[in-house]
Amino acid sequence: MRIWPLAWPIIISNITVPLLGLVDTAVVGHLPDSRYLAAVTLGATLFSFLYWGFGFLRMGTTGLVAQAVGRESDSDVRNLLGQSLIMAIVIGSLLIVFASPIVSLGLWLLDGSEAATALARSYAEIRLWSAPAVLANYTILGWFLGQQNARVTLMILVLTNSVNIVLDVWFVMGLGLSSDGVAWASVIADYSALAFGGFLVLRQLGKLKGTFLRSRLGVLSAYAALFNVNGNLFIRTLGLLFAMAFFTAQGARQGDTILAANAVLLQFIMLTSYALDGFAHAAESLVGRAVGRDDWSAFADTVRAAARFSWWTAAGAALVFALGGNGLIALLTGLEEVRATAAVYLPWMVVMPLIAVWSYLLDGVFIGTTSIAAMRNSIFIGLAAYLPTWWLAQGLGNHGLWLAFMVFTCVRSAVLIGYYRHYRLTRWR
């Protein structure tokens, strides 16, 4: 089973993401005024949420392409790339056109200081020029992953982040461009990645039969499958963003120390996700291929193998957090009050991977089957349990907030397990 060969490049690719964030922070953090660091933090947060919202371009492309590979339809593989790239460029161009209201709304919601917000606005208006490249890169990554080529993901992300890091240092430390220099470094890195990805795409297209079809690329009705998959993925992502934003907002209401402690603990969840996403992405590709071939034996083998890798990874994370959680907290913050507060809520982190693992894995399975409604519904059923639990548990303070988030995660996993069993029974008769 090819779970590990597909998963490890994705896991390494994921690790490069926080590395870039650390370099951004280190470079701007050495400037004489803290408002530059605050500006980059605000701007980077805005784009994390904005671009995450369009992550469906990667996920939807992976599932549909994997199924086309299973059907051995080179024409579908080729034309799905064309359709997804057109969608990415159109959406990216619209983000540039509506840059001013998007940036204004985002920075208003983030509510930074006046000085930091002014700098963050300049940063964000520069970064938005990269929107078509970022979204096109999502499509390219999803297209290659659908063909079980995860090493391209590694190559593109390593290139992107390497160029970004080098330009960060040059623009900020060498040319004195401060927070705007960080933004321009990201823009150039994104377009560099697009150029490299385009080269790899052209090379891969040379190996595929068929041609791009005007009837597939220029007729709106031909996009029905992509619209259906991507629309449900977008709605699902909005629900997930709301859950995270609600958690952050309720933590902030309890004071800066609780907010900071929760932010530290959420990094534990992010660390776990870097590994679990690798196995989930591998499952997307292999499950989609099995569905395209109607090979239910390969489908079952893939899910079982991905489940084993995911479970042992989650168990390992839980053990690390139980034995070394306080040490990790100390690495993430030097503030004694935040360290002590985070330690109080550390037990939630020990349990979380063992519950969340199933939602990560089954998200990958359902992307591969393009049964996106199950993913969408799991989020909103989870929210229906999350919000009442939080309301009833407010008397428990931050423990109540973590309990509500745990319930949300548990319900999501349970709903997805139910959908998976139904899918398996109905397809394997």
In this predicted structure, the answer to whether residue 346 has a pLDDT above a threshold of 80 is yes
Quote the pTM value. 0.85
Angle at 211 between CA 209 and CA 216, to 5 degrees: 125
230-258 burial code (b ≥16 CB/10 A, e <16): bebbbbbbebbeebeebbeebbeeeeebb
Lowest mean pLDDT across 50-64, 112-126, 262-276, 356-370: 112-126
d(CA 380, CA 207): 42
Torsion sign over Cα 266, 268, 270, 273 = negative
In this predicted structure, the answer to whether residue 291 has a pLDDT above a threshold of 80 is yes
Give yes or no: residues 91 and 200 share one domain. Answer: yes
Give the chain's mean pLDDT. Answer: 85
Give yes or no: residues 362 and 397 share one domain. Answer: yes
* 331 confidence band (pLDDT: 50, 70, 90): confident
Give the DSSP per-residue string, 257-288: HHHHHHHHHHHHHHHHHHHHHHHHHHHHHHHH
Torsion sign over Cα 300, 298, 61, 425 = negative
Domain count for the chain, please give it: 2
Give yes or no: residues 97 and 207 share one domain. Answer: yes
Q: Which two tokens stand for residue 193?
A: 């990645």
Residues 411-420 have a mean pLDDT of: 94
Residue after which a domain boundary falls, among 195, 218, 241: 218
Give yes or no: residues 372 and 286 share one domain. Answer: yes
Residue after which a domain boundary falls, among 192, 218, 244: 218
Give yes or no: residues 211 and 235 share one domain. Answer: no
Lowest mean pLDDT across 80-94, 260-274, 283-297: 260-274
Lowest mean pLDDT across 40-49, 182-191, 218-227, 377-386: 40-49
Range of the domain at 372: 224-429
d(CA 47, CA 59): 18
Give yes or no: residues 150 and 291 share one domain. Answer: no
> In this predicted structure, what is the pLDDT of residue 151?
85
In this predicted structure, the answer to whether residue 387 has a pLDDT above a threshold of 60 is yes
Residue after which a domain boundary falls, among 158, 187, 218: 218
Give yes or no: residues 287 and 182 share one domain. Answer: no
Residues 240-257 have a mean pLDDT of: 82
Give yes or no: residues 202 and 278 share one domain. Answer: no
To the nearest whole percent, how much of the chain has pLDDT over 70? Answer: 91
Give yes or no: residues 354 and 288 share one domain. Answer: yes
Give yes or no: residues 160 and 238 share one domain. Answer: no
- pLDDT digit string (tens) for 34-67? 566 666 666 777 777 778 788 888 888 898 999 9
Give yes or no: residues 132 and 203 share one domain. Answer: yes
Residues 291-316 have a mean pLDDT of: 91
Q: Which two tokens stand for residue 372?
A: 């996106």
Residues 256-285 have a mean pLDDT of: 84
> In this predicted structure, what is the pLDDT of residue 169?
80
Give yes or no: residues 209 and 237 share one domain. Answer: no
Residue of 198, 212, 193 whose CA lies nearest to 75: 212
Q: Cβ of 387: how many Cβ atoms within 10 Å?
A: 16
Lowest mean pLDDT across 23-37, 44-58, 141-155, 362-376: 23-37
> In this predicted structure, what is the pLDDT of residue 193?
92
> In this predicted structure, what is the pLDDT of residue 403?
96
> In this predicted structure, what is the pLDDT of residue 113?
64
> In this predicted structure, what is the pLDDT of residue 63?
87
184 versus 212: the higher-pLDDT residue is 184
- 53 Cβ neighbours under 8 A, 6+ residues apart: 234, 237, 238, 241
